[in-house]
C-alpha cells in the first residue's frame, strides 16, 4: 500500500493540461503496439464537465486522473450526443445517434407518472442489424461486464453481458480470457449535489471556487459548486481503487483504459442543454506501457465513435450501420471528422426540440419550438439548492444579465457562438453579418445530418410510438427455430436482427448465469439439455425453448 501511495503522490503533480500541441493523427496510430485482443476497461463518471486539472481546472487535485493523463492521451474535443444520461448511453451502446434509433426522449422507459398524456413507457428500436457493442465483443471471445448502470432506453438483450450487476468484474472470467469491463461512478451525478449536501467534504469547507457566470455567486451557489468538486475528489479515489485492482492483477499493461463522463456537468444550465456545459466532456485513454504518454488530441469526437473504436481495437471491423467512426484502430476513415452533432427533445413531461452542430470553434443551435420559454423546468433538478436560488433571484428580479438569458420567455430560431472566445455561450452572434457564411455552413451541415439519420425526434412522439409499437403493443421476438442433426445444433430466428442465446446444462443439472451468443452450429454434449431463446433490441424476448438430451 505504501508503494501505491508513493506512486500516486508522484503523479499528482503530473498533468497533460499544459501541452498545447495536438497529436494523434491517423498516421500516429500505426505506432501503437497492442495485443491482438487487448483488455478494454471503461471508467465512466456521471454528469461531469472538464473540471479537473488535466483539462485546465486547478481548483482541486485529482491524483488518479492526473496519473492517467500523464500516462495517456487527453482528448480536448470530445462530446456527448445528448446532454442527458439515457439518450447518451443509448448512443454509446449502439454507436448510433439517439434520434436515429428513437431514443432521444428522456426517458422512454421511465416512470409513467412523469410522462405526457398519451405516452406510455416504451423501448427505443435500432435497425435490425444493430446489436449492443458488448455482444460483438462476446462473439469474439471477450468476457464482458457492466458494473452496474444500464439505462439504455431499451432493455439489454440477454446476450449483451456475461455480467451486468453490482458484482460484475473482470476477475470473474476464465484465466487468460480478454475482457471488456465497465465501471460506473455515480458519486458525481446531479442528485449527489443535494443528496450529499450534509455529508462531510473531501475538500476544505471554505475552498475558493469559481461559480459559472450563469449561476449565482452566492453562498448557496458556492456551496453547491464545492459539493461538486468534493464529489469529483471522491470519484477520483474510487477510480484509483479500480486501477489498484488492475495493477494488482498484473493487467495494467495488457489493458486499454478509457476514462470519461456520460455528459456535461451536474449544475443548472449544464445537464440537459446543448451548450458545451452539457455536451463537452473529458476523455483520457491510457494504452499498454503508457504509449503516447502525456499527449493531447484535438480531433472532433463524439459518443457515437466509442463503439466502432473499441471494436476496431479488439480486431473487429465496425459494422456499416453505425453512425460513428473508428478513431484509434485499423478502420479509421481517410479524413477526420469536422463536425459533431447533438439533440435534445422531451425531458420527463416537458417537450422541446433542439439540434446543434459544432466545429472546432463555432456552435450552431437550432430551436424548433420558439414559442416556448428558453428555460425548461424539470422537477427533479428543482431539488438542487442552487436551482432554488435561481428561482429566488428571478422572482425578486435580481438575476444578472448572464443568468437572465436562461429565463427568456421565448427562444430565437437559432443561436450562434464563437465557443473559443465565449466558452460559456453567452454572446449570441446570430445577427452579426460577418458570420453569415459560417452560420450558413453549420446550418447546411445540420440539415445534412438530420436527413442522414432520418431524425425520429422531428416526428411527434405519439406518431413515433405508433410506428414502433402498433396498437401500443410491444413487438415480440419470434421463437428460435432449432435444427438437430446427429447432435449438431443449428439455430435460427425469423425476426430480423434477433440475437440468439443458449445455455448448456452443467454436470450438476444447473445452468450458467449468462447466455452464450450463438455464432454458428455446435455439438450438443451427451446427456445435457440446452436452453435457447432469441431477443432483438426493443422487442420482448422470445420464449425459452429446451433441446432435450
Taking the mean position of all CA atoms in its chain, how far away is CA 173?
Answer: 25
Quick one: 204 exposed, middle or buried, by C-beta within 10 A (0-12, 13-18, 19+)? exposed
Cell 444550465 belongs to which residue?
Answer: 269
Closest CA to 85 of 107, 61, 112: 107
Tell me the C-alpha distance between 343 and 103, whole Å.
11
Residues facing residue 517 across a β-bridge: 501
Taking the mean position of all CA atoms in its chain, how far away is CA 213?
Answer: 27
- CB of 98 within 8 A of CB of 88? yes
Q: Provide the pairing of β-strand 163-164 with 499-504.
A: unpaired
The catalytic position among 85, 144, 446, 493 is 85
Question: For the chain, how far is it from start to end, CA to CA, in angstroms?
Answer: 52
Clarify whether 144 is annotated catalytic. no
Taking the mean position of all CA atoms in its chain, how far away is CA 356?
Answer: 17
- CB of 436 within 8 A of CB of 425? no
Q: Over 299-367, what HEC string results?
A: CCEEHHHHHHHHHHHCCCCCCCCCCCCCCCCCCCCCCCCCCEEEEECCECCECCCEEEEECCCEEEEEE
Q: What is the DSSP string of 18-41?
A: T---B---HHHHTT----SS-EEE
- CB of 97 within 8 A of CB of 86? no
- Residue 401's H or E segment, with its range, is helix 401-404
- Cβ within 8 Å of residue 432, ≥6 positions away: 416
Tell me the C-alpha distance between 270 and 427, whole Å.
17
Active site residues per annotation: 85
Amino acid at each position: 500500500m505504501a508503494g501505491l501511495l508513493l506512486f500516486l503522490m508522484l503523479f499528482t503533480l503530473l498533468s497533460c493540461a499544459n501541452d498545447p500541441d495536438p497529436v494523434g493523427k491517423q498516421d500516429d496510430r500505426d505506432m501503437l503496439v497492442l495485443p491482438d485482443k487487448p483488455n478494454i476497461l471503461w471508467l465512466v463518471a456521471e454528469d461531469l464537465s472538464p473540471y479537473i486539472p488535466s483539462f485546465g481546472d486547478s481548483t482541486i487535485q485529482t491524483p488518479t486522473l492526473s496519473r492517467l493523463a500523464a500516462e495517456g492521451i487527453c482528448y480536448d474535443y470530445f462530446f456527448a450526443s445528448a446532454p442527458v444520461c439515457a439518450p447518451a448511453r443509448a448512443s454509446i451502446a449502439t454507436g448510433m445517434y439517439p434520434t436515429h434509433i428513437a431514443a432521444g426522449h428522456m426517458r422512454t422507459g421511465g416512470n409513467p407518472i412523469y410522462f405526457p398524456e398519451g405516452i406510455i413507457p416504451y423501448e427505443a428500436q435500432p435497425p435490425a442489424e444493430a446489436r449492443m457493442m458488448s455482444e460483438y465483443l462476446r462473439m469474439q471471445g471477450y468476457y464482458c461486464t457492466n458494473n452496474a448502470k444500464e439505462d439504455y432506453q431499451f432493455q439489454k438483450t440477454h446476450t449483451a453481458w456475461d455480467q451486468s450487476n453490482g458484482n460484475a468484474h473482470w476477475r470473474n472470467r476464465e484465466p487468460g480470457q480478454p475482457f471488456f469491463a465497465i465501471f460506473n461512478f455515480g458519486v458525481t451525478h446531479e442528485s449527489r449535489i443535494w443528496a450529499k449536501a450534509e455529508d462531510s467534504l473531501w475538500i476544505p469547507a471554505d475552498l475558493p471556487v469559481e461559480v459559472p457566470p450563469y449561476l449565482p455567486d452566492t453562498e448557496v451557489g458556492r456551496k453547491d459548486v464545492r459539493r461538486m468538486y468534493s464529489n469529483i475528489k471522491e470519484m477520483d479515489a474510487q477510480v484509483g481503487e479500480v486501477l489498484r485492482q488492475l495493477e494488482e492483477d498484473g493487467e495494467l499493461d495488457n489493458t486499454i483504459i478509457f476514462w470519461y463522463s456520460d455528459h456535461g456537468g451536474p449544475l443548472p444550465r449544464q445537464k440537459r442543454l446543448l451548450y458545451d456545459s452539457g455536451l463537452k466532456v473529458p476523455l483520457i485513454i491510457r494504452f499498454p506501457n503508457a504509449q503516447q504518454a502525456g499527449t493531447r488530441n484535438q480531433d472532433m469526437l463524439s459518443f457515437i465513435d466509442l463503439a466502432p473504436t473499441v471494436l476496431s481495437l479488439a480486431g473487429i471491423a465496425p459494422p456499416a450501420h453505425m453512425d460513428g467512426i473508428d478513431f484509434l484502430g485499423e478502420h479509421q476513415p481517410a479524413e477526420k471528422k469536422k463536425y459533431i452533432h447533438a439533440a435534445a427533445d422531451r425531458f420527463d413531461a416537458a417537450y422541446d426540440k433542439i439540434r446543434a452542430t459544432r466545429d472546432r470553434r463555432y456552435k450552431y443551435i437550432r430551436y424548433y419550438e420558439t414559442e416556448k420559454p428558453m428555460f425548461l423546468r424539470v422537477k427533479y433538478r428543482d431539488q438542487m439548492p442552487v436551482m432554488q436560488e435561481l428561482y429566488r433571484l428571478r422572482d425578486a428580479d435580481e438575476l444578472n444579465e448572464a443568468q437572465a438569458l436562461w429565463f427568456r420567455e421565448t427562444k430565437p430560431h437559432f443561436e450562434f457562438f464563437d465557443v473559443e472566445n465565449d466558452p460559456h455561450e453567452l454572446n449570441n452572434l446570430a445577427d452579426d453579418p460577418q458570420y453569415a457564411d459560417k452560420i450558413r455552413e453549420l446550418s447546411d451541415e445540420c440539415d445534412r445530418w438530420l436527413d442522414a439519420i432520418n431524425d425520429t425526434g422531428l416526428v411527434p412522439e405519439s406518431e413515433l410510438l405508433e410506428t414502433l409499437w402498433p396498437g401500443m403493443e410491444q413487438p415480440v421476438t419470434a421463437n428460435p427455430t432449432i435444427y438437430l442433426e446427429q447432435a449438431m445444433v443449428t439455430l435460427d430466428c425469423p425476426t430480423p436482427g434477433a440475437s440468439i442465446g443458449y445455455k448448456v446444462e452443467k454436470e450438476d443439472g444447473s445452468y450458467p448465469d449468462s447466455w452464450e451468443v450463438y455464432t454458428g452450429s455446435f455439438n450438443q454434449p451427451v446427456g445435457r439439455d440446452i436452453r435457447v431463446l432469441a431477443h432483438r433490441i426493443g422487442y420482448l424476448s422470445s420464449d425459452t425453448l429446451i433441446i432435450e438430451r
